[in-house]
Amino acid sequence: MKLTKTYDTLLLDEPAEHILRVTLNRPEVSNALNTQMGLDTLDLWDSLCADPALYRCVILTGAGEKAFCAGGDLKQRLGMTDAQWQAQHLIFERGVRAMAACPIPIIGAINGAAYGGGCEFTLSCDFAYASSTARFALTEVTLGIMPGAGGTQTMPRAVGIKRAKEILLTGLPFTAQQALDWGVVNQVCDPATLQAEVLATAQRIASNAPLSTRQIKHAVNTGMQMDIASALLFEIEAYNRLPPTEDRREGVAAFNEKRRPVFKGR
């Protein structure tokens, strides 16, 4: 069973077995985040949270060559009342929380500018590869607001507190190479090979035991919020769910039989 939904602002495709690619699809406005995209991404992540066995890895990217996501659609926001602005932002908040809660590994393929909410999407991925032409910024301070989709929390966790404060308080953009050096992305790719390189990594993840990858993600994300002693205990709780699985038996059998394992996610 696969996800069969269609969305106004997202393109979904399956570039390889067990892999879902999600493309932010408003290229005419640099894939800016409007209310409909907020509703679409919220529904998507909620759907994957509800049935994580649908896929083994998700790729998040943007349509076109110019931008991954330019952040909130300021043209739509022009003239909004305070109540309308906050109601829209609540949709965005819920979407980012649902993305963070998604048990399936998420890789960002950052194909261009990732500003504001686009930068926050990047930080919310489990990890990301970026085109060498990509640029990043959290520009909210220049607009009289502040990041509200996790940026003040995810950026310091990625780059450290002092670097994060510089990024957040200046609103200045930084390059893909700086994003790599600082820990925002894991790899910088030629624009022509970005999608292929991300897909190769996604296929490697998807070839591993899906229960294991989901438990690893759960253990890392939860354990990072704990003291080390509690986190080590939590790791064992996560680990102990795996020995009774068919995939564990298949993995050990395949190793001894010198063949590739065939994992079923059970």
Active site residues: 120, 140
Closest CA to 153 of 136, 165, 137, 135: 165
Closest CA to 164 of 176, 150, 144: 150
d(C-alpha 234, C-alpha 236), whole Å: 5
Instruction: Tell me the backbone φ, ψ of residue 68, rounded to 5 degrees.
Output: -80, -60
What does the alpha-carbon distance between residue 84 and residue 223 come to, in Å, rounded to a whole number?
37
Dihedral of CA 46/47/51/52: which sign?
negative
Beta-carbon neighbour count of residue 162 at 10 Å?
9
- List, as one string, the DSSP characters of 31-70: T-B-HHHHHHHHHHHHHHHH-GGG-SEEEEEESSSSEEE-
Both tokens assigned to 94: 């819920």
